[in-house]
Amino acid sequence: MLGSLEHMALSERFAARNYLPLPVVLRSGSGAWVIDVDGRRYLDCLAGYSALNFGHCHPRILARAMEQLTRITLTSRAFHHDQFGAFVTDLARLTGKESVLPMNSGAEAVEAAVKVARRWGRRVKGVPENSGTIITMSGNFHGGTTSVVSFSTDETVRADFGPFTPGFRPVPYGNLAILDAAMTSDVVAVILEPIQGEAGVIIPPPGYLQAVRELCTARGVLMIADEIQSGLGRTGRLFACDHEQVVPDVYVLGKSLGGGVVPVSAVVADNPVMSMFTPGSHASTFGGNPLGCAVAHEVVGLLAEGDLIRRGAMLGERLASGLFPLIGRGLTEVRMRGLWAGIDVDPSVGTARAVSERLLQAGVLAKETQGFTLRLAPPLVISEAEIDLLIDALRTAVSG
């Protein structure tokens, strides 16, 4: 059996270096805990960037996946299958929308949302052909495809990948006046993360989302909320938009929709928008496959029960009570909603990468997202005692 060093050496030798992982090789996991190939346990406080909101190997999700694995896993959408209808019905009901387009990765769902917004702009709003503009936000992260990075403002993901897809207009996140000025007649949609995850859990000013909603309605523009990381219980509500009682025209979902088992994403909207998709206009061989639908349907069931969402809100308060006292004692700022926190590390104690490496040594997994920002996103199944363990480890890691 290979040890950690041998596994990492193989990765360095044969894998593209598009990630810089922490030096740990994980073998198994359950709940909020994982075990590496050398037998050491770690408290997972990143949860796959919210893909593992329900923890590792959640028994209900795993049982549903195992059951479906023995029946049928893929048909393509060329045929109906018995898992599809029930899944899209219950996801539509959960989200309060009328129609669901299942996809695989979050980036695929974002691409689909861009396409439906452009066609809606052409066919419903009457924007001239090939001129539908989508307003985006500075600091965004919506995925890694060529079109998606075309509206990123992060040069790390853009450098030397051009030429880029036209038709996107970036504005500063949280600045309503500039957004208003950017709303020219060719604009068909505004896409934004209600909380920007990759940027460091950046929360917009109070009332901003509501003002964006009102502005989009007044100008006849679709509001698209990318809730891939922030949605499905992460912030203590079903959606981060719910904190301002905002309902966008389009939700983009992903990550935890697949229960940490399979990649499942979705675009969810009402029929006047989703009817823009017609047979042959958008496709995915694996999108809406039987295995993915079965797993995601179980996820929808867990969310509909509400217990895990309420747990995220309650444990978020406990996490906050431990994090905010560390401001001035190794941290310079804490931003959080529910069980999602972006914490800025005082440069005097090192970079966020250095702090994540200290946490690793203490048996806690977290990851930097910017030079001095650490992101925490423990699974919703974490316990109060485990939250306290995280806070104790972090206090030590930033003590200098």
- State the catalytic residues: 141, 226, 255
- List the strands of the sheet with 265-269, edge to edge: 99-103, 265-269, 250-253, 222-226, 187-192, 133-137, 168-171
**Please, are residues 311 and 288 in contact by the beta-carbon 8 Å criterion?**
no
Distance CA 202, CA 140 (A): 10
CA 352 vs. chain centroid, Å, equals 21
Largest CA distance in the chain: 63
- The structure tokens 């880029």 sit at 164
Show the CA angle centred on residue 130, arms to residues 125 and 136, nearest 5°: 75
Distance CA 124, CA 46 (A): 41
Backbone conformation region of residue 201, classed left if phi is above 0, alpha if psi is from -120 to 50, else beta: left
Phi, psi of 49 (to 5 degrees): 55, 40
Neighbours of 332 (CB within 10 A): 15
Distance CA 151, CA 144 (A): 10
CA 285 vs. chain centroid, Å, equals 23
Sign, CA torsion 63/67/68/69 = positive
Least Cα distance to 190 among 166, 163, 217, 164 occurs for 217
- List the strands of the sheet with 364-365, edge to edge: 26-30, 33-36, 41-44, 364-365
- The structure tokens 């990630």 sit at 19
